[in-house]
């Protein structure tokens, strides 16, 4: 389902940072929608060239566009400007303090197009709006699981309901790590290989422990025990122990799971009474650090075994038929 953003919500979210002020009726912003991320400066469209005109995003008017609009109104040549305003443009943002011809504002009022002014410098304004829209329109999904920051690594703990995800997370928090989300994790794709996770309902401090109820992790352990969001770097899949299943023992086979078309490394852990999953989770995080820096214990161990086998083979060949 495609997301859309009302201009009114956009205004409320960024007005303080960008010092936005309405030059038209604020009511116009309630029905106008921004359909996708991206910003446009309608320089060519103002001259009457509308091919590939990106009308459905916010339109920025800086000094060059404002001067051109003023010149066109002064010359009485407003045909192309009027054509431009026929498009269902979400809003115009005038950048800086330069005055714009009131006739242009009046035309926008007639078309019920919101017009803002911001005194922020163009680079800052562009950065803030671009980051905001990228975040809003980023592909996202919700996953049943628990996300914990362990030694700076985002571990997403998954598994069937009541397998013990929250209990493991609580134990990790007690050991000094930080809870990001429990039960429902909202994951956003920030870049081609970057997934960011946060609480699905905005309830980061809260956690449900079966038999105990709802806990407020922040109130019990302090603010150091939570964080608002964290990059998801590895998935720990908790499985019920099955005797007939062959589980990975060396770590040579890389398993992964695809979330929002991003492959994340996955480690499947069989659960049975007495197994210390908390310490294993900490070790998984530290081991991932080593892999990021180029050290893989499983591969090093395999290399050691191969070298030992080669040496043994050479020795065996040398001593063949040697009966002294």
Q: Is 144 a catalytic residue?
A: yes
- Among 79, 144, 175, 310, the active-site one is 144
Torsion 156-157-160-164 (CA) sign: negative
- Among 120, 165, 178, 198, the active-site one is 165
- Among 183, 198, 227, 230, the active-site one is 183
Torsion 138-141-147-150 (CA) sign: negative
Q: Which residues contact 310 (CB under 8 A, 6 or more apart)?
A: none
Q: Is 183 a catalytic residue?
A: yes
* CA distance readout (Å), 149 to 146, 175, 180, 209, 224: 10, 12, 7, 19, 11
**DSSP secondary structure letters along 95-113:** ESS----HHHHHHHHHTT-
Q: Is 165 a catalytic residue?
A: yes
Q: Is 135 a catalytic residue?
A: no
Residue 21: strand pairing partners? 117
Task: List the end-to-end C-alpha distance of the chain, in Å, as a whole number.
Answer: 81
- The catalytic residues are 144, 165, 183, 249
């Amino acid at each position: 389902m495609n997301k859309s953003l009302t201009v009114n919500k956009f205004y409320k979210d960024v007005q303080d940072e960008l010092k936005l002020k309405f030059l038209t009726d604020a009511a116009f912003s309630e029905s106008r929608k921004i359909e996708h991320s991206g910003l446009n400066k309608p320089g060519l469209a103002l001259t009457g060239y509308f091919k590939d005109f990106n009308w459905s995003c916010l339109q920025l008017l800086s000094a060059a566009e404002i001067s051109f609009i003023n010149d066109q109104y002064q010359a009485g040549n407003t045909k192309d400007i009027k054509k431009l305003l026929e498009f269902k443009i979400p809003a115009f943002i005038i950048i800086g303090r330069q005055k714009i011809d009131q006739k242009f504002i009046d035309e926008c009022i007639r078309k019920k197009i919101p017009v803002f002014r911001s005194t922020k410098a163009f680079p800052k304004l562009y950065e803030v709006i671009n980051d905001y829209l990228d975040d809003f329109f980023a592909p996202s999904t919700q996953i049943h699981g628990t996300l914990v920051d362990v030694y700076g690594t985002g571990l997403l703990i998954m598994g069937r309901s009541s397998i013990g995800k929250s209990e493991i997370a609580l134990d990790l928090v007690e050991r000094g790590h930080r809870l990001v989300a429990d039960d429902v994790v909202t994951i956003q794709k920030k870049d081609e290989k970057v997934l960011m996770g946060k609480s699905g309902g905005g309830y980061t401090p809260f956690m449900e422990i079966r038999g105990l109820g709802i806990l407020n992790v922040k109130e019990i352990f302090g603010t150091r025990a939570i964080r608002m969001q964290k990059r998801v770097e590895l998935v720990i899949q908790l499985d019920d122990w099955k005797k007939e299943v062959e589980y990975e023992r060396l770590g040579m086979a890389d398993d992964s799971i695809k979330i929002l078309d991003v492959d994340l490394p996955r480690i499947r852990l069989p659960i049975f009474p007495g197994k210390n999953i908390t310490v294993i989770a900490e070790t998984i995080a530290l081991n991932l650090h080593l892999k990021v820096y180029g050290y893989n214990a499983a591969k090093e161990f395999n290399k050691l075994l191969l070298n030992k086998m080669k040496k043994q083979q050479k020795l065996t060949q040398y001593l063949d038929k040697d009966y002294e």
